[in-house]
Amino acid sequence: MNKDLAVITGMSGSGKSIALNALEDAGYYCVDNLPLPLLEPLLALEQENSNHKLAVAMDVRGGESIPHLPRLLGDLERSGVTVRLIFLDTNDGILIRRFSATRRRHPLSPPDEGDTHEAEARHAALMQAIARERGLLSDLRESAHVIDTSFLRPAQLMTFVKQLIGANAAHLTLVFESFAFKRGITQDADYVFDVRMLPNPFYEQGLRELTGLDQPVIDFLAGQPTVKLMAEQITGFLRVWLPELARDHRSYVTVAIGCTGGQHRSVYLAERLAAEFSRDWPTLTWHREIDPKFA
C-alpha cells in the first residue's frame, strides 16, 4: 500500500483543528475525529479511488482505543504507508484557561460536569480530565513529533505544520528553534541548550533593537570566543547522536536554543547550527519570539 498519511493528534484544546486546516490548504484530504477502527478501511478506500494525500485527526474523542494507535501506525509503515505523526501539546494552565473561557466540555469530563455551578468543582473536574488524557496519550506522544502550541497564534501553527509536512519524509529532519526563557521553556524540544551565559547584544549600543538575523548582531556574536565554543560543542554533541536517532527511524529532531529574550543569542546560534547541519540533513529554523513568518 503506497500512501501519504498525516496524523494529527494531541491534547484537547491544543489546536488540532487549526493544524488540520493547514493540511487541507496544503492539498491533503482531511478527516477529523476518525475512530481508530476506521483508519485502515479509509486508507484502502482512498488508495482505490484517488491519489489524495490523506490527513486525519485522531484523539480521545474516538474512545479509549487511542493508545493502540502507535502499533497500528507501525504496521501501516511496514506495509508501505508514509506516516507523519504530529502531536500538539499545550501546558495545563493554558488548557484550563482555554476551556474555561469557551465553557466547552472536555471530552473526558464526566457527563454531569456542566450541571455544576461551582467554579471550584468544574476546575477540579477539568484538571482530572486533562491528567487522564495525558495518561492515555503518553505513548503516542513519545512516538510523535511534538509541537508546543502554548504560545503560538493560529497563523504560526498553520505555517509550522506546513513546513514540517513539506520536509522530505525519507530523511531525518532537524528543527532548530530559538525561544525566550522568560516566556517559558518550549515543550516540544528533543534537546534544549541554555545560552544565557553568553555575551548579550542587548547591552551593546545600537544592538538592542536588532535580532540575531541582523548583520551587526551576527558580527558581534561571531567575534565572541565563548559563542564560538558553545556552537562547536553543540555541533559536536549532535554529530555524535544524530546518526543514532536516524537509525532509530526518527522523522524529526527539534533542537531548542534558549536565551533570556529570544531575540539575539538563541536566534544567532539556531541559524548558525542550521547552516552547519544543512550540508548533511534537511533542516528547518523557526524563532518563536520573532519570526516574521508567524506574525
Q: Are 209 and 202 in contact (CB under 8 A)?
A: no
pLDDT in tens, 224-242: 999 999 999 999 999 999 9
Q: Look at residue 21 in the predicted model and tell me its pLDDT.
A: 94
Pick the closest to residue 143 from 91, 87, 94, 98 (CA basis): 87
Q: Look at residue 287 in the predicted model and tell me its pLDDT.
A: 92
- Rounded Cα–Cα distance for residues 9 and 146 (Å): 10
**Which run of H or of E encompasses 24?**
helix 16-25
- Rounded Cα–Cα distance for residues 44 and 46 (Å): 5
pLDDT in tens, 264-276: 999 999 999 999 9
101-105, 117-121, 219-223, 287-291: which range is least confident on average? 117-121
- Rounded Cα–Cα distance for residues 134 and 152 (Å): 20
124-128, 189-193, 233-237: which range is least confident on average? 124-128
Write down the pTM of the prediction: 0.77
- Rounded Cα–Cα distance for residues 187 and 146 (Å): 8
Task: Kindly state the average pLDDT of the residues 240-256.
Answer: 87
- Rounded Cα–Cα distance for residues 225 and 32 (Å): 51
Task: Kindly state the average pLDDT of the residues 136-150.
Answer: 90
Domains of the chain: 3-164 (3.40.50.300), 171-294 (no CATH)
* DSSP code, position 106: P
Q: Look at residue 115 in the predicted model and tell me its pLDDT.
A: 52
Number of H helices, E strands in the chain: 9, 9
The answer, yes or no, to whether residue 2 has pLDDT greater than 70, is no
- Rounded Cα–Cα distance for residues 138 and 2 (Å): 29
Pick the closest to residue 11 from 23, 19, 1 (CA basis): 19
Q: Are 14 and 90 in contact (CB under 8 A)?
A: yes
As a whole number of Å, the end-to-end CA separation of the chain is 40
- Rounded Cα–Cα distance for residues 47 and 272 (Å): 42
At 54, phi and psi to the nearest 5? -115, 135
pLDDT in tens, 3-59: 889 999 999 999 999 999 999 998 899 999 999 999 999 988 887 766 678 999 999
Q: Are 141 and 133 in contact (CB under 8 A)?
A: no
